[in-house]
Structure 1
């Protein structure tokens, strides 16, 4: 039996979903690629155990969150630019949805790594509080408090229209 039997299929089917999560966690496409590559290397190293009875996707998502927090703590990655660039003058006007998306992106960049992870897992991936707590390795109370703090900060940083 090949040590990596099923790994290539896992990567083929789940890579896009994991990449979206990595991007939302880092706010940068290049960092997201690096993050996903790092995590998939870890998944491959543990593939025999994960394929026998583990949950490789849950392991990968938890590793994405943990690695992002670890990189930020060690200052190995920089937060995306938190302030929108100045308008350079006359040019095409953006539609309202684009402006809201940009404002939300910049507000997300100002959250702490744990707050951003909670928002991504709870609202983008539609995870329950219990699932989010398991993926992050924290208590449900921590998920609730980090969600509350993050939403308060997002509301303060973005126009009200984003939440309607």
Structure 2
């Protein structure tokens, strides 16, 4: 158990790019006369494999910027994990942005919201894949829009619904 925990610490140090800790653990393995081939395979090698897996796997999230008081991120915790060429389909509608606004009968109102699709990168700063501002007339019929990157490789279909409520 202690060996597996030690290998896990090494692997985590590699994934987190903690060079000092990786070196410290290597010195400890030498001092304590561990089987160095095993340390390399199960510790450092595992960390390198995990980094490779992160490059193959995209972790995406949506960021919505609305009025001054409203900002959100979906999912709030965690990410939507996608392998290369994999599609994400939610089992139920995801609510990225929601707002109640009072509009008097006969008057029109307009809301502007910016939706950003970002890719989470564990090794450096998250990158924006696609970003677009939508103008929503209140009330209006449900509309579907496609948010996509410049190369049209990553797309998200969004439903914009601005309906009246009884409240």
Q: Which has the higher strand share?
A: 2
TM-score band by shorter chain is under 0.3
Q: Which has the higher helix share?
A: 1
TM-score (norm 1): 0.27
TM-score (norm 2): 0.27
